[in-house]
Amino acid sequence: MGVAEVFTEFGDIYLQSVLSTWLMTAVCFAGGLLLGIVATVMRVSPLKPLRVVGDVYVQLFRNIPTVSLLVIFVYALPYLGATLPYRTCLIACVILIVSAFASENFMSGINAIGVGQIEAARSIGLSFTQIIRHVVIPQSLRTTVLPMTNLLIATLLTTAMGSQVPLKPPELTGMVNYVNSRSVAGISAFVVSAICYAGTSVVLGFLGNLLDKKVRIIR
């Protein structure tokens, strides 16, 4: 079975799996960014215990393989009485891991701000939360567009973990198994999925570059 036949025969469900991959990527990335902001705010807060919790959190989820985390969610959590749907497990795992990397990106963005601006903000009477909101977050978001684009692409690729659990519709990698268990597509199914991943990544990379040019802070 060639690439073209894979398309004609499984076109519909391929479309669904592409959409499923895109949707999970979007949800995981958005969730990861939000959680990454929370972790980062903890890591720069004036309270030592919060900083420690934030640091430990990031170290933990930055250094654990996604597959291990997924195993914990799928097989270990039920022992604690929490049986979550497979898709929820997957999304939660990816969000946790993405948030750790997002926080690392934010930290480098924050380091670029410089203590002087923070002191200037303090000396006009802005509170810690106001400084975070009006100076730290906007600047670190705007200086980290490129690394965040890379993280978005990594998120896309990480959703391939979805092939390790039954999902309906499957995502792009699970789709390979789906196709090959129903017909003899061989390498073609892989090629189609790879094209979808690569195409998406190229577009995201391009958009990331555009956005970076638009919002980058001139220093």
Interface with other proteins by CB under 8 A: which residues? 113-114, 116-117, 119-127, 130, 134-135, 138-139, 142, 217-219
Give me the torsion for CA of 115, 118, 123, 124, rounded to 10°: 150
Closer CB to other proteins, 81 or 116, in the complex:
116
Cα–Cα distance between 219 and 201 in angstroms, integer?
29
CB atoms within 10 A of CB 79: 8
111 vs 177 by CB, closer to other proteins: 111
> Counting beta carbons within 10 angstroms of the beta carbon of residue 198, is it exposed (0 to 12), middle (13 to 18) or buried (19 or more)?
exposed
Helix (H, G, I), strand (E, B) or coil at 1: coil
- Residue 139 C-beta: closest distance to other proteins, Å: 5
The nearest distance, CB 154 to other proteins, in angstroms, is: 26
State which residue, 8 or 123, has the beta carbon closest to other proteins: 123
* Residue closest to 175 by CA, chosen among 11, 23, 4: 11
> Is residue 7 a contact partner of residue 192, using CB atoms and an 8 Å limit?
yes
- State in angstroms the smallest separation of the CB of 218 from other proteins: 4
Nearer to other proteins, 148 or 192 (CB): 148
Least distance from other proteins to the Cβ atom of residue 50, Å: 15
